[in-house]
Amino acid sequence: MALRQPEEFTTMESASRRTALQRMLQFACAAVAVPLTVRAAPTCGDATSEPLRESLHYTPAPSAAQACAACSFFTADGNGACGACAIMGGPVDRGSHCDSWSAKS
């Protein structure tokens, strides 16, 4: 069976192939975008404490109850999503978490 040249495909076959390719591209984009939007990276950073943040696994909080905003080391600064952390010595995202999290008493 000989391969057909592109100009030999019917309009219907070309449309189906185009639709299939568009759907595959949409699926690939969604597969990349969903994890990025579900677990967004913390936005309140401080380059000088980055090694400490990495060692304490500073990440988005697994739940609101375990977020920086509910941690005894957190102080809200009234500046939106950021607050200050006594452990990190700088700004942290109130929705983040690290291994040193301790419930406010």
Q: Which residues contribute to the site for ligand SF4 (CB under 6 A)?
A: 58, 68, 71, 73-74, 85, 87-88, 92, 96-98, 100-101
Pick the closer one to ligand SF4 by CB: 13 or 54: 54
Shortest distance in whole angstroms from residue 12 CB to ligand SF4: 58
Closest CB to ligand SF4 among 26 and 75? 75
Q: Minimum distance from CB of 75 to ligand SF4 (Å)? A: 9
- Least distance CB 15 / ligand SF4 (angstroms): 53
Question: How long a stretch of residues is the chain?
Answer: 105
Measured in whole angstroms, the distance separating CA 22 from the mean position of its chain's CA atoms is 25
Of 18 and 57, CB closest to ligand SF4: 57
**Alpha-carbon span 75 to 47, nearest angstrom:** 19
Q: Which is nearer to ligand SF4, 18 or 62 (CB)?
A: 62
Q: Which residues of 5-16 are buried (b: 16+ CB within 10 A; e: fewer)?
A: eeeeeeeeeeee
Helix (H) or strand (E) holding 20: helix 11-38
CA 70 – CA 80 distance, rounded (Å): 15
